[in-house]
Chain A
Amino acid sequence: MSAVGRKRVPRTEARWVRWVLISLAVGLTIFFIVLPLAAVFIQAFDKGWAVWQAAVTEENARKAIFLSLMVTGIAVPLNVVFGLAAAWAITRFQFKGRNLLLTLIDIPFGVSPVVSGLIFVLVFGAQGWLGPWLADRDIQIIFAVPGIVLATVFVTFPFVARELIPLMQSQGSEEEEAAIVLGATAWQMFRRVTLPNIKWGLLYGVVLCTARSLGEFGAVSVVSGHIRGLTNTIPLHVEILYNEYNYTAAFAVASLLSVVAVVTLLLKKVLEWKTREART
């Protein structure tokens, strides 16, 4: 090919510009994002391993960990069942209001955590809709564990559905239709066809949902009442320790949540890779 009169076309920026931009990007990521994470671990182990261990095994810490795990153990399965049902209805059938349903699923992502807690206080609180009725029957929801569960379910509501809907949409329904035509029951189809196809996406949704359940602060803070050893989740326990100027203990407990966050990110990478592999 002739190159007559043709100038060399620059395909990228000059070397020094590239170098400056790469350094800026890496530097800004470290400064704004990595530094706060690193600071948690450094301050958690500030006074050595023994102090860290004492802080995370102390009685109130253990109770907070237990409560957080229990709340997560209720919230995640509930939202998995919802996610599967919603994704099945939305991606496999055409019906009126399909787009509306899709939009409504996203609502909890757009609501402030504090408002997410407030709505349950307005329904179940002492002066809420059901407050007097519940008080007569001696049922406590707000400032008790059921309220924490409800607030957590609300904030983690969209995670599983949001992962499954695009995945199941892109996979299409041919394999499932084939299974039914060949005489499979609904349960067999779900077990043998649907579930193996969506397992990595589903698992990723579960990971996100779990991480958020363990770490939710604002919504839970509004409904919990901060009763030590009774209605304190891990993040609320961190807040109390911090406000008591017990910084090392606060960061020690916070480091547990940070490990969950780092593991979540690692699993994300693995599961993204698995989904891509499953699709090809």
Chain B
Amino acid sequence: MQLHFKRPGILPGFWPAYCYSVLYLTLIVLIPLSAVFLKTATAGWTKIWHTISSPRVVAAYEVSFGASLAAALASVVIGFVIAWALERYEFPGKSIVDALVDIPFALPTAVAGISLTSLYAPSGWLGRYLEPLGIKVAFAPLGITVALVFIGLPFVVRSVQPVLEDADHEVEEAASSLGAGRWQVFWRVLFPAFRPALLTGFALAFARGLGEYGSVVFISGNLPMKTEIAPLLIIAKLEEYDYAGAAAIATAMLVASFLMLLLINIVQGRSRRFMETKLS
């Protein structure tokens, strides 16, 4: 008689579950996604370079990159204030505010797009007061940033909240009793512990902003060289049946978001080590 001691467990269904997952993942995600890279690769270097270095494409990258960066920075500041108040203070309606933070996750991007445009258009509720001040939001780069702040805020709040919740009150009290003022406690003791979470929130908001489409196309006005975002150019290339060009722009975007995700992992790995050394 042969005993199979190597069997990991007695639970059934590993092979069907595993094979089905891998097959479905391959068919729905991996094969279609590889099409982008293969299409780009078969187009040849000169064609790729010609596409991604043309002035209109470079301008679109600059718009996407600049607006995402500005929006992610604004989201970090605004999101931190919201997360701080939600985690450290008690006030009426707190749980409602907490639930409302998820709206941008749930609201379809196209709905957010037309709504923000109607608010910030020159005749809109907010636009009509901003326009006389010389602040143009809709159909300008600022509008793209405003839309991306809407999209990015929950990423920052939800990244920072757990860290604020876990913050060690003893360290804080020790600093206070040793004579540190509130501001010193915040800046020297609390803030360093939040930094990795803020960076994660920043990276998530930034990466999402680079690829965002629905909430931006309405408010941006889509002026070539001025307010045209990179995802819109992919659609423009597709409409010209320039599949290779669309794939080349997409590849550049995928590489950018891949690098962002890598950065998040490095930051999280470092902060985990930081916490571990602190505990030991």
Q: Which residues of B contact A177 (CB under 8 A)?
A: 9-11
Report the Cα distance A40→B211, complex, angstroms.
Answer: 24
Asked whether, in the complex, the Cβ of A93 is within 8 Å of the Cβ of B111, the reply is no
Q: Is B270 an interface position by the 8 A CB rule?
A: no
Contact indicator per residue, chain A 123-144, by CB within 8 Å of chain B (1) or not (0): 1011111000000000000000
Q: Are A110 and B182 closer than 8 Å at their CB atoms? A: no
Q: Which candidate, A22-30, A55-63, A196-204, is the interface stretch facing chain B?
A: A22-30
Q: Are A217 and B35 in contact (CB under 8 A)?
A: no
Residue among B78, B100, B177, B210 making CB contact with A112, cutoff 8 Å? B210
Q: When the two chains form the complex, which single residue of B28, B89, B110, B246 contacts A239, counting CB atoms closer than 8 Å? A: B110
Across-interface contacts of B134 in A (CB, < 8 A): none
Interchain CB contact under 8 A, A115 and B250: yes
Q: Return chain A residues, CB-CB under 8 Å to B253.
A: 112, 115
Whether A92 contacts B36 in the complex (CB less than 8 A), given A36-B115, A82-B24, comes out as no
User: What CA separation (Å) do A113 and B32 show in the bound complex?
Assistant: 14
- Cβ–Cβ < 8 Å partners of B106 in chain A: 211, 260-262, 264-265
Interface bits A226-247 vs B (CB < 8 Å: 1, else 0): 0000000001101100100001
Q: Which residues of B contact A181 (CB under 8 A)?
A: 10
Interface residue? A145 (CB, 8 A): no
Cβ contact within 8 Å between A21 and B84: yes
Give Cα A114–Cα B126 distance, bound, in whole angstroms: 30
The answer on a CB contact under 8 Å between B153 and A33 is: yes
User: Which residues does chain A contribute within 8 Å of B99, judged by CB atoms?
Assistant: 265, 268-269
Query: Which one, B14-22, B45-53, B136-144, B160-168, is touching chain A?
Result: B14-22
Inside 8 A of A84's CB, which chain B residues have their CB? 17
Contact A115 B211 (CB under 8 A): yes
| Chain B: CB-nearest residue to A215 | B108
Question: Does B18 contact A39, Cβ atoms closer than 8 Å?
Answer: no
Which of B55-63, B193-201, B230-238, B272-280 is the contact stretch?
Answer: B230-238
Q: How far, in Å, is B279 (CB) from chain A's closest CB?
A: 22
Our pick among B14, B108, B232 for the contact of A216 (Cβ within 8 Å) is B108
Tally of contact residues, A, Cβ under 8 A: 97
User: Would A242 and B218 be within 8 Å (CB), given that A217-B109, A247-B118 are in contact?
Assistant: yes
A245 to chain B, nearest CB (A): 12
Contact A7:B177 (CB < 8 A) given known A107-B33, A111-B211, A122-B36? yes
Instruction: For residue B160, give the distance in angstroms from its CB to the closest CB of chain A.
Output: 12
Q: Is B41 in the interface zone, CB < 8 Å from A?
A: no
B82 touches A235 (CB 8 A): no
Say yes or no: A186-B32 contact (C-beta < 8 A), given A32-B149, A115-B211, A238-B111. Answer: no
Residue A250 interfacial (CB < 8 Å) = yes
CB of B30 within 8 Å of the partner chain: yes
- Contact (A112, B231) CB under 8 Å given A217-B214, A254-B115, A265-B106: yes
Beyond A25-B97, A111-B211, whether A35 also contacts B119 by CB under 8 A is yes
Chain A positions within 8 Å of B86 at CB level: 25
At the interface, yes or no: A6 with Cβ under 8 Å from chain B? yes
Instruction: For A39, list chain B residues within 8 Å (CB).
Output: 115, 118-119, 125
A34 at the A/B interface (Cβ < 8 Å)?
yes
Q: CB-CB < 8 A to B243: which residues of A?
A: 121-122, 125, 127-128
A-B contact pairs, 18 of them (CB 8 A): A25-B82, A28-B81, A36-B150, A37-B107, A85-B16, A85-B17, A85-B18, A85-B24, A101-B22, A111-B257, A112-B250, A114-B232, A115-B234, A122-B243, A173-B9, A215-B107, A221-B213, A222-B234
By Cβ-Cβ distance, the 8 closest A-B pairs, closest first, are A112-B211, A215-B108, A25-B85, A218-B213, A217-B214, A114-B231, A261-B106, A119-B32
